Amino acid sequence: MFSLSVPVISLVIGEGGSGGALGIGVGNRILMLENATYSVISPEGCAAILWRDGSKGPLAADALKPTAYELLKLNVIDEVIKEPFGGSHRNWEDTFSNTKEVFVKHLKELLEISPEELRENRYNKFRNMGIFTEEK
């Protein structure tokens, strides 16, 4: 997807995880419904690898920060799409309307960018994704 000369907008609507999370991470923009989650591994899988104990999933989830607003703060995603009270399944018409509004806004912005810049921006965005610290 790095080589595509058209805008790429990824939309996380539920649980974006595993290898699929890596794939949709290669977008010019990543949008996410506010109650969705997005991570390259489940909290239980992460806990099983780090602590050999899948029951420590809540501790891993705290470290992974897989929720929309946390990922927005980390610059992993570009915008959180508001959901109706009770979640998107309670009022899909409002969810579609909110999603369309945000999606169209980003698409209009991206259509103003040359194919070369789209590819370069997409590559740089992916390479600089997130905030990392190393503890010694």
Along the 136 residues of the chain, how does pLDDT read in single tens digits?
A: 889 999 999 999 988 777 777 888 899 999 999 999 999 888 899 999 999 998 999 999 998 899 999 999 988 999 999 999 988 989 999 999 999 999 999 999 999 999 999 999 999 988 887 656 677 7
Q: CA 73, 74, 79, 82 torsion: positive or negative?
A: negative
pTM for the whole thing?
0.87
Beta strands in the chain, from DSSP E residues, in sequence order: 9-12, 15-17, 29-33, 37-39, 79-81
Round to whole Å and give the CA distance between 80 and 67: 10
Q: What amino acid occupies position 106?
A: H
